[in-house]
Structure 1
Amino acid sequence: MILVTGISGALGGLVHRGLSALDGLTVAAGSRSGDDTTTRRIDFDDPATLSAGLRDVDVLVMISAGYAEDDVVLARHGAAIDAAAAAGVRHVIYTSLAGSGDLMTIALPHRWTEKRMAAAPFDLTILRNGLYAEVPVGLAVAGAASSADSGVFAAAFGTGRISVVAREDLAEVAVRVAAETERDLAAGRRSRHAGRVYELEGVTAVGGADIASILSESLTRPV
């Protein structure tokens, strides 16, 4: 059985729907608001829910536990790792942060989680996801309003550039890895993805100048 956590979120929901559409797989959904009927209650802030929530799970797709203070995220992930090990989960697929994001403030809990998982008794695949395309798009949308009045686009890019990737593409990779892992285990062999770290980033980097150029065109285009 495959269990996907965080299915009420955008990425988790996409992964769960993608896996559920495939034939021959048993897929369970996990959410902190689960009713234990259609969706298992998996609340990283309530470790007591994890033992029952992870029963009979072979492959766990663990969507990272969201943005919070580092100690909160570490506690959440640590509880999930301990519960997965105790429940006998055979393979964990973890959605981490791309290597290019190592200088970001959110990198520390992701790298800590990777190391903690590597020491656990289950096999591991790390999906290092790049920043969602919505990040610079959101800045562009927010900047559009102020740019219309001032003619100046201001955002914390400096001269830096970032690679972005569509959330749907990241979900597609997670679906493929989880499905192939479950089928490998069902055939009595170790997953071909065990011990692998996949860097999943866009092929084109964008910066503040690019967004400013797009805004300039949109603001001067006749309507």
Structure 2
Amino acid sequence: MVLWFIWKARNGTIFRAKPPDPNTIVDLAQANLQNFRRWHNTNEAKNPTDLYLPRRWRPPDRGTLKLNVDGSWVPGEPVGSVAGILRNHAGQVVDGFISDTRASSAMQIETLAILKGLEFMHLRKLSHMEGAGTELVEAEKVLCESDCLTAVQSLMGWAKHPWNVQTILSQCNKILAQSSVMQVVYCPREANSAANWIAKGNRTKALPQNWMSNPPPILSEILCSEFYLSSSCTS
């Protein structure tokens, strides 16, 4: 499974000029293997060496920002919500966004969340260029994480996708082609709890306007828990 995704990443580098990310390759391979076992009901013996690594939010490297994005949509409703939360290597919240958007499927809302995240970071970079040097802003790397495996694979050209997300994917690739520091990667759902809660809170109108400067108790608990776990993991 891992070799398959290494081969796919190699093709992406050769034919689409997309540099491979080792963590993404491993995460995608593990997620696909987990899905395969779930749907094929394989009864392989469970042992300590077969267990997956803890699925938790991981802080980015110093000099890199991590934007977790997610979407919330209920079948039958024409409008959903997308959200993103930007954190630095110390787990501190740097910025974020929420937006209501029309959607007709879960895949579409998840893909829109990635697009809104890339647009958000692109506009943020442009606005920061006015107060800082272009080289400083351009050097700041950004990882945009989504827990929708199919959306990330489709963006990389590794999976088929519904017709109603083709335009969204094209817009995403256009933004990525204009930047050498932004990258979209997959993360497990357990590592995307904050963005998930924010998107749902915005959709249900339960999210206060000052959610970044004064996080609600539940969001604050999620952020503190993720910071504690990531600190324990990397210490």
Higher Cα radius of gyration: 1
Provide the TM-score with structure 1 as the length reference.
Answer: 0.29
Greater share of residues in helix: 2
TM-score, length-normalised on structure 2?
A: 0.28
